[in-house]
Structure 1
């Protein structure tokens, strides 16, 4: 782990809503034409989810308004 990092804080921009998901329309359209975007997107997404889930330091999400994620 990074010895200079004590805590990770993420914050949504705009204050109206927070969405932790990706561009579902882009993933769907790429899947229709057989492009690699969907597979690449989910590979990166799961790597990030694993990193967050196993991170050894506090990880805080400051969320205000409607919240979506998956």
Structure 2
């Protein structure tokens, strides 16, 4: 699935977004998921549903955000 919502970023752009401080900060400020635009996001700027679907490098980067290390 390329996008969960037409307003969110494409899934293939998520890795870059997780490496970009500003992108994650904007998602957190507006409290909307970067992928699906659902409200209530974690420190990585993702909702629980999208966060649970991460694998590999995406999951590792999101975990760094959750632990407070950031990109």
TM-score, normalising length: structure 1: 0.27
Larger RCO: 1 or 2 (CA < 8 Å, sep 6+): 1
Report the structure, 1 or 2, having the larger helix content.
2
Higher Rg: 1
TM-score, normalising length: structure 2: 0.27
